Amino acid sequence: DTAVSQTPKYLVTQMGNDKSIKCEQNLGHDTMYWYKQDSKKFLKIMFSYNNKELIINETVPNRFSPKSPDKAHLNLHINSLELGDSAVYFCASSQGTGGEQYFGPGTRLTVT
């Protein structure tokens, strides 16, 4: 009974393509996040939604567009993929914006 799930787990695609990653949480949390872990292992916040409203939007290219259809889902759409987008993307959720976050298993994106 997975708390935070992401699909797909692996994604290999070519430069210029558009792709989406989906995230769902069944914890009843009101806040969800997208993080990017790059090759240097930095885990950086990209976006955060609270009750479906965008509350954190870091300096991320506008090719990345998050969408939260409801409190349990936060999807990430990436347009015109570039080599530098290759990374592991983690979804997370929490109750409120403080406190511990629960992470999904990650999606490893490889752009060739």
Site for another protein, rule CB under 8 A: 4, 35, 40-45, 48, 50, 55-56, 90, 92, 97-106
Instruction: Give the nearest distance from C-beta 38 to another protein in angstroms.
Output: 10
Instruction: Give the nearest distance from C-beta 43 to another protein in angstroms.
Output: 4
Q: How far is CA 85 from CA 1, 91, 109, in A?
A: 30, 16, 7
Instruction: Give the nearest distance from C-beta 15 to another protein in angstroms.
Output: 25
Measured CA to CA, the distance from residue 37 to residue 83 in angstroms comes to 14
Which residue type occupies 89?
Y
Task: Name every residue whose Cβ is closer than 8 Å to that of residue 74 and which is 6 or more positions away in sequence.
Answer: 23, 32, 33, 34, 47, 49, 66, 67, 68, 91
16 or 92: CB nearest another protein: 92
Cβ atoms of 31 and 97 closer than 8 Å: yes
Instruction: Give the nearest distance from C-beta 37 to another protein in angstroms.
Output: 9
